Amino acid sequence: MSGITTVVPAMSRGVPVASGAGLTHKGRIRSRNEDAILTDPSGFLWAVADGMGGHGNGDVAADIVIDHLGSVPDDAAPGPALAAAIEAANAAVLAHAAAHGKGTMGATVVAVMIVRAIAHVAWVGDSRAYLLRAGRLRQLTRDHTFVQALVDAGQITPEEAGNHPESHVVTRAVGGGPEIEIDSLSVPLYPGDRLLLCSDGLPRCVYDSTIEQLLRQAADPDEACRLLLTEALESGAPDNVSAIVVDIRES
């Protein structure tokens, strides 16, 4: 009798540890980079923020988000700490916009805290987190976009979503209003796993199948980031592109 088999990687004797790298680029078209990234040599906290709002607004919003996430203490409870940092960033972006007479100003964000081999992921907007396990890639996050809402409602197919004229329209953003809704999840990690955090500039011009292939072939996170950004740039990179790759290995 055939059936579905769930494969669970063998447990290591110690708690797995994380190490990673990150790169960000303005792309081929944009005049400035409004993405910001947070990388952590200790392997604890990682984040990508993608600024919105045009010249002088988006990059400031992204920096505000990263600054707040960077202040999360190492001994904080992961889920509540990420939510609190993003909520504080939301208030700070709104305050900055009001104080400086800015109009639309905000950022999407995806962040992960890795504590005792569990990845705690929080996100707002269409910055993404992926997990490569046993050579197979899966998207952990779900985009907060107008087009994703159409897909969820069955009005368009996932294949049609990529070419939809409003594929860039997000339905949630840090700085989008006084109340912010944050999605989160937790995923156990095993030695050999590889995490990817990225701004939407990467999947907009690089297919998931290619991302999977490049993540599989890269020897380490540094090489993985270089391969991903090179592929995005060779594919035109009409938007800013950021990628953080984190490897999980035995202690």
pTM: 0.91
- Which tokens belong to 228? 């991903």
Percent of the chain with pLDDT over 90: 78
pLDDT tens per residue, range 36-91: 999 998 889 999 999 997 666 899 999 999 999 999 998 999 999 999 999 999 99
User: What is d(CA 6, CA 90) in angstroms, rounded to the nearest whole number?
Assistant: 40
Q: Is the pLDDT of residue 2 over 50?
A: no
Torsion of Cα atoms, 211 then 212 then 217 then 219, to 10°: 80
pLDDT tens per residue, range 204-235: 999 999 999 999 999 999 999 999 999 999 99
Q: How far is CA 197 from CA 150, 191, 212, in A?
A: 24, 18, 13
pLDDT tens per residue, range 169-191: 899 999 999 999 999 999 999 99
Query: Which pLDDT score is estimated for 104?
Result: 80
Residue 100: alpha-carbon gap to chain centroid:
28
Q: Could you tell me which residues are beta bridge partners of residue 141? A: none
Residue 86 is given by DSSP the state: H
Query: Which pLDDT score is estimated for 55?
Result: 60
- Unique residue bearing structure tokens 């979503």: 161
Query: Which pLDDT score is estimated for 166?
Result: 67
C-alpha angle 129-40-212 in degrees, rounded to nearest 5: 30
Domains observed in the chain: 17-249 (3.60.40.10)
* Mean pLDDT of all residues belonging to the chain: 90
SS3 for 130? strand
pLDDT tens per residue, range 134-167: 999 999 999 998 877 787 777 777 766 666 666 6
DSSP sequence for 3-38: ------PPPPSS--EEEEEEEEE-TTT-SS--EEEE
SS3 for 71? coil
Query: Which pLDDT score is estimated for 108?
Result: 97
